[in-house]
């Protein structure tokens, strides 16, 4: 009854929730390469969104509820680790970034800190500094988005 007063019908809410659940289900089934294609907006009929970026980062950062293990493990192949590291860097460059994604990137660097250091020393790479730069870039992009929203609100007269 209250939904009618607020201007939203029950079907609109359920369609929105259904689309969120579909997106969550699709992203949870993706491998790293597919997630990277999604973030780069290369998957037909599936446009990248801020909610999708959060789900991609949660796949990497949040431990699996059944096995209590994270996506990356110490004994994973180095190519999988590198792909995951590169995926996080691509997510940080995305224009659809929000504060939750930046927080998840920061959690990624904390959770996998030892793995990143080991990878850097073994392969003479600089992922540790790249993640620091990615966080700065993510915050910079987030500030740009917020500035644009503020300007749009001013132009609309709100």
- Among 7-11, 24-28, 136-140, 148-152, the least confident range: 7-11
Residue 56: the pLDDT is 95
pTM comes to 0.83
Residue 158: the pLDDT is 63
Mean pLDDT of 124-133: 92
Residue 20 C-beta-side C-alpha neighbours within 13 Å: 9
CB 24 within 8 A of CB 55: yes
**Residues of the domain holding 150:** 2-156
What total number of domains does the chain contain? 1
């Amino acid at each position: 009854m209250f939904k009618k007063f607020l201007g939203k019908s029950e079907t609109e809410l359920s369609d929105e929730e259904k689309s969120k659940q579909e997106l969550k289900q699709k992203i949870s089934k993706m491998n790293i390469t597919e997630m990277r294609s999604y973030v780069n907006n290369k998957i037909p009929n599936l446009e990248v969104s801020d909610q999708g970026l959060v789900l991609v980062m949660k796949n990497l950062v949040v431990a699996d509820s059944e096995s209590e293990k994270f996506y990356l493990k110490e004994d994973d192949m180095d190519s999988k680790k590198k792909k995951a590291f590169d995926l996080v860097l691509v997510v940080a460059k995305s224009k659809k970034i929000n504060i939750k994604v930046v927080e998840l990137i920061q959690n990624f660097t904390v959770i996998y800190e030892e793995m990143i250091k080991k990878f850097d020393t073994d392969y003479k790479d600089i992922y540790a500094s790249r993640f620091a730069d990615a966080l700065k870039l993510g915050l910079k992009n987030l500030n740009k988005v917020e500035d644009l929203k503020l300007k749009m609100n001013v132009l609309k007269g709100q």
